[in-house]
Structure 1
Amino acid sequence: MNRNEAERQRAFTALLRSPVLDRHTHPEVWPLVRVHRGKLGEWFAQRLGYRLVVTDSAARLFRLPVDGAVVAPRRFRPPTRRVLVLAILAAAAAEDTEDITTTQDLSDRVRVLSTHEDVELAPYDPDRFAERTLFVKAVHLLVSVGALRPTGRDDEEQREGWAHRRDAIGGAYEVRRELLLRLVDPASLRAALTGGHDGGPPHEAAARIGLMRKLVELPVVLYEDLTDAERIYLTGQRHRVLTWCAEMTGWVVEQRAEGMALIAADEADTDLPFPRVRAADFAALMALDKLVRTHGAGSLVTADDLGSAALEVRERYVKAMTNDLSSGEAVESAARDLLGALDLLRPTGEPDRWRLTAAAARYRDPRVVAVNAKLNEEGEG
């Protein structure tokens, strides 16, 4: 692999991980995006149906829907609806501020904005601690997408200080108007207003884009989840698909009888690495192993089955349970949420019933080297 190829792969995977990049937040990757933006834009547009916008100071990747759907899974434990609403109001308020604003200034403006009759939202009340806590999360969300840039300290302690009224103005932020206005671009707005049903790509292109999105965005692609058109495209173009994946990412496509998975070279390249060395992942891993050994991958499991597995984990590994996992249904809840996000435990549509997907067998029989120190398992990716 030559230098240009390695740089393009690094820029491509960085944009997948962080759809907003600029010279301040990603100083090492930003020059690579700028240099290779032509090829990157071609890859995203032709192979994934995404829109990449690169300006003099920032890059933004828009995951446009096809047939009303976006394949990329939701973030694990995403912001609540109220946080998203407050972030949208704060973005609107920031457009009218000075170039430098503060948490308190934005809060004051959002309070006024939320009371307008045409807004039709529950008014924002900064006199309530719960609302202030949600508002600092909303401001942090705008920071994460590049619309605001901290001019000084911006950490959990500082945000908590403003929420508790120990800090009068909160953080200070530069309003980055270019990225603020690119929170939504014309193509994204049109796709949102039409539900992604505005004609879309031709039939073969839709099959190609759908297949490539699933390979790049999902933990695993089961053949049963492909549409007929995607299955036909894969049958005829498997070599091309594998070549594209390797060219764009440098990762390896693992092929099994049930499906395929694009395995990231480093856990930093995925949004939800598993298992990490932490109690919640350990508990979820051991609960999954219990379910797989008892029922087998592909089987249906119930809430009682999951509860029984969680109880065994809590009783067997008492010393590994942190305070937040040692009581009630905490282990069960953590396992359900995490394994669901990884598509190892898939909802069936019926209440309290899930299916263990084929990929769950990959995590069977984990070997515990030292609880709370290091975990290892056969086939870990």
Structure 2
Amino acid sequence: MRATTNGSNDSRGIGVLQQRFQREEFRSGVRALVMTPLMGPAHEDFVAIRRQAEALREWFSRETGWLLQVEREGARLYKRPGDLTDVTRGLPGYNRRRYVLLCLACAVLERADPQITLRLLGERLLELAADPSLDFTFTLEAQHERRDLVSVCRTLLGLGVLHRVAGDEETFVHAGSDQADALYDVQRRLLAGMLAAVRGPSTWTPEEAPATLEERLRALVGEHVADSEEGRRTALRHQLARRLLDDPVVYVETLDPEARAYFLNQRGPMASRLCEAAGLVAEQRAEGLALVDEAGLLTDVAMPAEGTDAHVTLLVAEYLASRQRQHQADGDGAAPASARSIHEHDIADFLHEAKARYGRYWRKSAREPGAEGELARIAIERLEKLRLAERKAGAVHPLPALARFALGDAEIRETRTVPAAVGGLRFDQ
């Protein structure tokens, strides 16, 4: 009898452990797909995602309306942006020119053999770029142009669309296509998942094609919404869930009246479901809602973080937050935004003064005369991406969530190897 009881307890214990493991594996899959919606089989979470494919597919469909495809060759979460007006999104270091090259490179690869060289990719891309209707000029003669092409190739390598077999891209940049090359395998299943559009651009006739960029973006991701009250509620829930998963914070004032009413009524249950699935913590305030990742991994821009740019951003955040608190203490918190904004040159002046205290911990280029202007620009861009500030006409406007950041007293601990980091972060109630 005693042996039977122990065996029963062991079975229950194993069952509990299995359930816990499955929950953690599911949560890791949600987080990985949100951060890497196009994923090759080499990704560290891909095996777990294949095991949890059915549960993940059902959850994303119900909560966000995003389609998930998981196959042996890779996984693709077809994310739809919750806010098409967000200009802070994008691939690091990319401008319009590189995005055009990325699209042309995908067009070349779609028609290519299973293997292609970097030189051949560049030559065929040049042929497509010569189309007069593109109004685009590109050659491989200058080093900066070859670097643009290599940046596109490295993006495709990172996404798993290309797999390097041999060669070196950096030598191609410096020596040119006559002296250096690289060979790639083309992963067609992942290439086919590059475009996450509801309707492909090639399906429009010239007469009906949208004219402006905003119209094109909306046409690409426009989804059918059932003409019923339930259909509209589902569309609102999906739109808000997408923003909560993708954006650092969702402010009530950024929502239209219908979405605002739904958000204020449902944000508690919605936040609970999303936090449980993705391992996040909800911070609800009168101004809005943020789903915070305490591990700091589910973000493109971490704060606080290591490095000069991150430290400067934290200093600027404290500077802006202190100005914001001063306005509130003076009773002009309700004053127009223009009266509470700070000009970029004021931030640069602040960093010039901060350099005397913290400069020895910054990289050498950040200590050069006049570098504070570039540092201010970097800090403002990072704060914009984190929804802590916005920039309009050369002025920076602090946003409500900035009040949570305050720089603590510096704690300097000298070691025999590396000087300690300066400053700390505390939550400002």
TM-score over 0.5 for the pair: yes
Report the Cα offset of residue 8 of structure 1.
Answer: 0.9
> Which whole-Å deviations, capped at 9, do the CAs of 1:13-55 have from their partners, x for residues lacking one?
001111111212x1x3112211222221222222112222222
After TM superposition, the runs of 4+ consecutive aligned structure 1 residues lying more than 4 A away are: 70-73, 190-193
Q: Provide the rounded CA distance (Å) in 1 between the counterparts of 2:351 and 2:88.
A: 25
Q: Which of 38, 51, 62 is 1:35 aligned to?
A: 51
User: Which structure's CA Rg is the greater one?
Assistant: 2
**Correspondence for 1:127:** 141
Question: Does the CA contact (< 8 Å) of 2:116 and 2:186 recur in 1?
Answer: yes
> Which whole-Å deviations, capped at 9, do the CAs of 1:194-222 have from their partners, x for residues lacking one?
25445446321122122212221111122
**Correspondence for 2:174:** 164
Amino acid at match of 2:148: L
Identity of aligned residues (%): 24
> Which whole-Å deviations, capped at 9, do the CAs of 1:96-120 have from their partners, x for residues lacking one?
3332222112112212232244x53
**Correspondence for 2:6:** none
**Correspondence for 1:305:** 346
TM-score (norm 2): 0.78
Report the Cα offset of residue 254 of structure 1.
Answer: 1.8
Secondary structure of the corresponding residue to residue 411 of structure 2? strand
Question: Does the CA contact (< 8 Å) of 1:71 and 1:217 recur in 2?
Answer: no
Amino acid at match of 1:335: A
CA shift in 2, pair 1:186/1:302, >3 Å:
closer
The reply to whether residue 378 of structure 1 matches residue 422 of structure 2 is: no
Secondary structure of the corresponding residue to residue 101 of structure 1? strand
> Which whole-Å deviations, capped at 9, do the CAs of 1:314-366 have from their partners, x for residues lacking one?
2332312323322321221222221122121213x4x1122111211211133
Secondary structure of the corresponding residue to residue 426 of structure 2? coil
Amino acid at match of 1:88: C
Q: Provide the rounded CA distance (Å) in 2 between the counterparts of 1:189 and 1:41.
A: 23
- Structure 2 unmatched runs, 5+: 1-18, 202-215, 334-339, 414-418
Secondary structure of the corresponding residue to residue 134 of structure 2? coil
TM-score (norm 1): 0.87
Q: Which of 245, 249, 265 is 1:216 aligned to?
A: 245
Q: Provide the rounded CA distance (Å) in 1 between the counterparts of 2:196 and 2:344.
A: 43
CA shift in 2, pair 1:149/1:72, >3 Å:
farther
Q: Which of 332, 356, 381 is 2:398 aligned to?
A: 356
Question: Does the CA contact (< 8 Å) of 2:28 and 2:45 recur in 1?
Answer: yes
Matches within 5 A, 1:92-241: 92-117=107-132, 120-152=134-166, 158-165=168-175, 168-184=179-195, 187-189=198-200, 192=217, 194-197=219-222, 199-200=224-225, 202-241=231-270
> Which whole-Å deviations, capped at 9, do the CAs of 1:162-214 have from their partners, x for residues lacking one?
11117734332110111112222662527857254454463211221222122
Greater relative contact order, per chain length (Cα 8 Å cut-off, separation 6+): 1
Q: Provide the rounded CA distance (Å) in 1 between the counterparts of 2:225 and 2:86.
A: 15
Amino acid at match of 1:38: E
- Structure 1 unmatched runs, 5+: none
